[in-house]
Structure 1
Amino acid sequence: ELILRDSTAYTPIIFVLSAGSDPTSLLKSLAEKVGQEVEDLSLGAGQDVPATLMLEKGIRSGNWVFFANCHLSISWMPSLEQLIESYCNGKPHKDFRLWLSCMPHPSFPIPILQRSLKITTEPPTGLKANLQRLYNNMTEEQFEKCGKPEFYKKLLFSLVWFHAVLLERRKFGSLGWNIPYGFNFSDFSVCENILCLYLDEYEEVPWDAIRYLIAEANYGGRVTDNQDRRLLRCCVNQYFSEDVLTIPNFQLSILPTFYVPDDGTLQSYREYIKSLPTGPDHPEAFGQHPNADMASHLNETRILLDTILSLQPMTAQAGAKTPEELVLDSCAQLQEQVPKPMDLEKISKDNEHNSSPLSVVLLQEIARYNFLIVKIHESLIDVQNGVKGLVVITKELEEVFDSILNNRVPQLWGTAYPSLKALGPWVRDFLTRIDQLRQWVDEGVPKVFWLGGFTFPSGFLTALLQSSARRNGIPIDHLTWEFIVMNQEESSIQVYPKEGAYIKGLFIEGAKWDYDNAHLIEPKPMELTSAMPIIHFKPVDKKRSMKALYAAPLYMYPIRTGSRERPSYMLNVDLKAGSKDPNHWTKRGVALLLALAN
């Protein structure tokens, strides 16, 4: 209202959007309050003509015009700039206002920004702040609109809590969501109407329909990752069930503070929210382990330190080595450490009569690592020559120089397989990968494989399925995996498995494996990841159905989304859930990793 008071027909008003914010409902409420009609249009491809007509109509009639998501139609913004310039030189209706919403974008026209009033709407942080915001914006009419208030009020609070939990889980990084989604007030508003409509229309609560519309059609419409979708279903099944209506003060988490209040007035719900503790939310409120907070803080600290490191001056103190000298020393050491390529031609001849899928995997892996070895040696030589002034320093070589100086892996070297390790640990890891292949060539097929040592681990698993399918005369499409966690050390395994392979080197994040009882347990404080025992990946024709199994997603490295070119997700590994329900581990974000960041 203050912005409206300061504005005129000649000054557009821009909402600078942030993740999770949507000013549409607030703007419409303001228009209704002041008795003004507002026409809105979400911009995008092909919306330039309708937008122009809507703007011209608003200028004449005095209506408000709201163009949402200008960043999705950035190519039309110069035309909008000319339209604004045109009507500002004329005489628009005194009641006309142009409202815009846009994410920050480098190509947004500066003249529009200079002419406009700017508003930024940051979403609240914390469960209490999110609950307060939604209930404070709720009117008595909205709160009492349903014909079954004894059901609606409780489920409405569940929906508000559900919305707040989805937003706040983003702070836990990959333990919260694989992808940080921009859920906003529009999602909540639609689901609120769904609750009211379905409760009024049906005599009994249609739980399946409500859960589907919330988890799949509305909030789920934003979710693109399968593991995130599983988490969303898990939350919906907990917060929208018969227990919410039948159990007094239904607990929303294991913390006694958070529950669904009994039927009351809108003010009583506001008072309950006001009584909730302030300050940082306990991770258990989201179904997370306390370690999740530490993982989030470590990630933020790492980003801060990387930023500080990038701002360091590229000069040397008196008596210290210059950056060029440091890089030359590092290049010389790396050249000594990185081995020469393996003799692929000789290895191929030795295996020419071996047409097994695993032999094909071996040759493909050697070819990829040989290519990387050659690339490393060539770039090291070029950097040294560039520092000495013998060759021109290209942008690519400059990136290699900066990376070696700052102990990072050059992008040129990171194309064979994804990794978050610093340069020193990455080189040690790289040499271990080469050793596994050399040992395979010299001593035959390993009894235990390090799955994380392959550039293309999914190809290795497919080769295991192909071998089993050929051996047993079964179509490969009929095979699936059975996972047997071995309580043995690698040195004690002396024979090959009849089917599949023994896999070592996996890590678990968000939980821990109980070696004595062979099931998942809670990790110790500060134990963010832990090593898994050897697992037998066994191809089977028909999988035994067992209850209390948690399907733990297996990722190549800690960035669970991977990249567009190289997804990180591989498959789900079934692990015994122990005394906890599998949904408990789903909310914990428990996953297996082939490699860590350190």
Structure 2
Amino acid sequence: VAEKALDLMHATGGWVMLQNIELVARWLPKLERKLEALKEGAHPDFRVFLSALPQPVVPVPILQASITLTNEPPSGLKANMLRAYNTFSESIWDTCSKQAELKSIIFALCFFHAVVCERRKFGPIGWNRGYPFNQGDLSVCITVANNYLDASPKVPWDDLKYIFGEIMYGGHITDAWDRKLCATYLNAYLKEELLDSLSLFPKFEVPASGFSYKQYLEYIEEQLAVETPTAYGLHPNSEINFMTMQADALLGAVAELQPRAGGVAGGMSLQERVKRVLDDIVERIPDVFAVAEIEAGLGDERSPFAGVFLQECERMNVLLFEMRRSLLELDLGLK
């Protein structure tokens, strides 16, 4: 189906969107060759868009030939909760017969989603393994909660906890202790007390169900000001390792950006050394072959060897032109 869509839009013009390509890893080498072949004779309006999670299965040539945009998850409980609320609008609970209950459950689910996502930064202290929790898990859970509330005379807490913990989020979890941790969180957040201002962690309670969508955002912005490991049920010292790794990564990045000075005075930086090598290569690139003059010199009598020679001259000219062009672009980038 994807290849047919690519061929059709390549001929007639149009956009093709291939989502979650990391899920078809075996097909990606074929996709790479397909995209390479589609470069020739493409319709001016032909465009291909690819989406994928940051997995190593995506071929590097596809990334190099693309304009790459990354959407990194936010850092911190507040940012994660605000992002979770920004995935839907106030209309999400307008059609529910139990709006008050749904609002409280959505608030608890957004907090739960932020907690399970943020625990990953603590490494093995947070989760025994890294799990790809995403916004899709949260969206499906909210839809399920809405449907169950409409179909039940009272809130089916046990059913919701099982679906969220064993199917939606639990579908990612492969470690038995991590699964038990996920269930413990849901047991603490999804219970009857949730409808009566349950405290999710010290000084952060579930707001009144009469809040509007905007008031929920303002409440999160104001009340979730200080983030500590206690919010995740962790010891205060558990963030020492995370902050140490974060500082090492920051200082390492800063060090990589510093000029590489030589061991003696007057040493050149990395950029200066690259510029020097670049200029040397440009000076040594020969001029292109004057194919027209060579053909005139051969006259009317051409042997097969002469034909092959002319073809090689033309191909060499293309190579020399591309080398000079790319080196000039690199020189502009260094400036």
Alignment CA distance shift 1:125-1:145 (3 Å): farther
SS in 1 for 2:154: coil
Alignment-derived partner of residue 270 in structure 2: none
Q: Does 1:83 align with 2:34?
A: yes
Alignment CA distance shift 1:172-1:104 (3 Å): closer
Alignment CA distance shift 1:194-1:116 (3 Å): same
Pick aligned residue for 2:223 from 267, 270, 276: 276
Alignment-derived partner of residue 243 in structure 1: 193
For 1:160 and 1:76, the matched residues in 2 are separated by 35
User: What residue identity is the alignment partner of 2:107?
Assistant: F
Pick aligned residue for 1:130 from 80, 85, 90: 80
Q: Is the 8 A contact 2:105 2:190 kept in 1?
A: yes
Alignment-derived partner of residue 55 in structure 1: 6
Q: Is the 8 A contact 1:282 1:290 kept in 2?
A: yes
Within a 5 Å distance, the mapping from 1:367-406 to structure 2 comes to none
Looking at both structures, which has the greater relative contact order when contacts are Cα pairs under 8 Å and sequence separation is at least 6? 2
For 1:196 and 1:97, the matched residues in 2 are separated by 36
Deviation per CA, 1:222-263: give whole Å up to 9, x if none. 111111111111001111111101x2x21001x11x111112
For 2:222 and 2:163, the matched residues in 1 are separated by 32
For 2:150 and 2:18, the matched residues in 1 are separated by 33
For 1:148 and 1:93, the matched residues in 2 are separated by 52
Within a 5 Å distance, the mapping from 1:254-403 to structure 2 comes to 255-256=202-203, 258-263=204-209, 264-278=211-225, 281-297=227-243
Offset of 1:169 from its aligned partner?
1.4
Q: Is the 8 A contact 1:159 1:188 kept in 2?
A: yes
Alignment-derived partner of residue 232 in structure 1: 182
Within a 5 Å distance, the mapping from 1:366-515 to structure 2 comes to none
For 1:57 and 1:189, the matched residues in 2 are separated by 33
Alignment CA distance shift 1:215-1:118 (3 Å): same
Higher percent of residues as helix:
2
Alignment CA distance shift 1:295-1:80 (3 Å): closer
SS in 2 for 1:291: helix
Higher percent of residues as strand:
1
Q: Is the 8 A contact 2:9 2:46 kept in 1?
A: no
For structure 2, the residue ranges without an aligned partner over 5 or more in a row are 254-335
Deviation per CA, 1:105-128: give whole Å up to 9, x if none. 387142x33432111111101000
User: What residue identity is the alignment partner of 2:20?
Assistant: A
SS in 1 for 2:173: coil
Offset of 1:286 from its aligned partner?
1.3
Offset of 1:52 from its aligned partner?
1.8
SS in 1 for 2:49: strand
User: What residue identity is the alignment partner of 1:85?
Assistant: E
Offset of 1:295 from its aligned partner?
4.3
Q: Does 1:182 align with 2:127?
A: no
Pick aligned residue for 1:67 from 13, 19, 30: 19
User: What residue identity is the alignment partner of 1:130?
Assistant: N
For structure 1, the residue ranges without an aligned partner over 5 or more in a row are 1-49, 308-598
For 1:225 and 1:288, the matched residues in 2 are separated by 19
Deviation per CA, 1:405-445: give whole Å up to 9, x if none. xxxxxxxxxxxxxxxxxxxxxxxxxxxxxxxxxxxxxxxxx
Offset of 1:166 from its aligned partner?
0.4
For 1:82 and 1:303, the matched residues in 2 are separated by 36
For 1:205 and 1:278, the matched residues in 2 are separated by 31
Alignment CA distance shift 1:102-1:169 (3 Å): closer
Alignment-derived partner of residue 156 in structure 1: 106
What is the CA RMSD across the aligned residues, in angstroms? Answer: 2.9
Q: Is the 8 A contact 2:137 2:168 kept in 1?
A: yes
Q: Is the 8 A contact 2:25 2:57 kept in 1?
A: no
SS in 1 for 2:139: helix
Alignment-derived partner of residue 115 in structure 2: 165
Alignment-derived partner of residue 433 in structure 1: none
For 1:107 and 1:194, the matched residues in 2 are separated by 33
TM-score when normalising by structure 1: 0.39
Aligned length: 251
Alignment-derived partner of residue 409 in structure 1: none
TM-score when normalising by structure 2: 0.67
